[in-house]
C-alpha cells in the first residue's frame, strides 16, 4: 500500500498538468491572432429588425421644398425650417429650428438665389459652364478674386453643379474664403442662366452639401 499512494499522486499531478496546459494553450491560442485583424461590428436595430445599412440614403426622410418659378426641388432636414423673405418672388432660405443662434428672422444656414444674368454676361450661353465659372463668376459678387478649388457635385438627377471655394479680399486684405455652388438652369428663367447655392455657417456645411446633392429640376 505504501507504493499505491504515490501512484495516485502521480496520476493527480498528471491530470492537473494536462488540464492546466490545455487551459494555457487555449489562452495562448486566443492571443495568437494578429492585433489588427478586422472586427465585424453589427449594430443592433432599435426596432429589432434588420440593421440599417450604412449605404442607406440619409436624406430619405427629409422634407422637400419645391419652387414653381425656377421649377426645382431640394430636400432639407426634418428639424429645419424655411426662412421666408418679404417678397414671395425670392426663394426662401433654410435654417435649423432648434439652434439658438438662428432665432433672428432672416438668418439662414444655406440659401438658393438666382444668378448668372445672361443679358449682362452673354458668354454664359456659349462657354462651358465650368469655364464660365472660372472666368466670369467672380464679377457676380464683389470681392471674389480667384478660384481656390472647384468640384463637380454628383447628383442622382444629373443636374450640373459646381462647388467653388473662392478667395476673398476685404478692406484690410485677404479674408476667409467663401464657398458657393453654381447650378445651371436647363433653360434661362427671368434672364438668369443659373442658380447660386450659398453656404452660410461652416458648422452646417456637411448638411448643406447633403441638401445640395438632392437638388433636381422638376
Average pLDDT, the chain: 73
| Range list of H helices, the chain | 4-30, 123-126, 129-135, 205-213
Spell out the residues 6+ positions from residue 11 whose beta carbon is closer than 8 angstroms to its own: none
User: How many residues belong to the chain?
Assistant: 218
> Residue 177 sits in which domain range?
63-217
Residue 145 in domain: yes
Domain count across the chain: 1
Whole-structure pTM value: 0.66
* Phi, psi of 216, deg, nearest 5: -155, 155
What is the domain-level CATH number for residue 135?
Answer: 3.40.1000
Q: Strands 173-189, 161-170: parallel, antiparallel or unpaired by DSSP?
A: antiparallel
In terms of Cα–Cα distance, which of 185, 14, 193, 195 is closest to 90? 195
Cell of 186: 436647363
Q: Residue 142: what pLDDT?
A: 55
d(CA 154, CA 15): 68
In a domain, 174, yes or no: yes
Tell me what pLDDT residue 11 has. 46
What pLDDT, in 10s, does the model give residues 139-196? 655 556 677 788 888 887 888 899 888 877 665 656 677 888 999 998 888 888 889 8
Residue 84 lies in a domain: yes
Residue 56 lies in a domain: no
Amino acid at each position: 500500500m505504501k507504493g499505491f499512494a504515490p501512484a495516485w499522486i502521480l496520476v493527480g499531478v498528471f491530470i492537473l498538468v494536462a488540464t492546466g496546459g490545455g487551459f494555457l494553450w487555449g489562452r495562448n491560442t486566443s492571443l495568437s491572432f494578429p492585433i489588427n485583424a478586422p472586427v465585424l461590428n453589427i449594430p443592433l436595430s432599435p426596432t429589432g429588425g434588420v440593421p440599417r445599412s450604412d449605404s442607406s440614403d440619409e436624406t430619405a426622410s427629409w422634407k422637400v421644398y419645391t419652387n414653381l418659378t425656377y421649377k426645382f426641388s431640394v430636400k432639407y432636414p426634418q428639424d429645419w425650417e424655411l426662412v421666408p423673405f418679404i417678397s414671395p418672388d425670392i426663394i426662401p432660405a433654410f435654417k435649423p429650428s432648434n439652434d439658438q443662434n438662428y432665432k433672428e428672422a432672416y438668418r439662414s444656414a444655406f440659401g438658393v438665389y438666382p444668378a448668372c444674368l445672361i443679358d449682362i454676361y452673354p458668354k454664359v450661353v456659349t462657354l462651358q459652364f465650368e469655364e464660365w465659372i472660372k472666368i466670369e463668376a467672380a464679377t457676380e459678387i464683389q470681392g471674389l478674386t480667384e478660384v481656390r478649388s472647384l468640384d463637380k457635385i454628383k447628383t442622382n438627377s444629373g443636374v450640373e453643379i459646381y462647388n467653388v471655394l473662392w478667395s476673398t479680399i476685404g478692406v484690410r486684405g485677404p479674408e476667409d474664403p467663401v464657398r458657393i455652388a453654381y447650378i445651371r438652369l436647363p433653360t434661362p428663367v427671368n434672364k438668369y442662366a443659373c442658380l447660386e447655392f450659398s453656404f452660410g455657417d461652416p458648422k452646417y456645411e456637411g448638411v448643406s452639401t447633403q441638401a445640395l446633392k438632392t437638388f433636381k429640376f422638376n
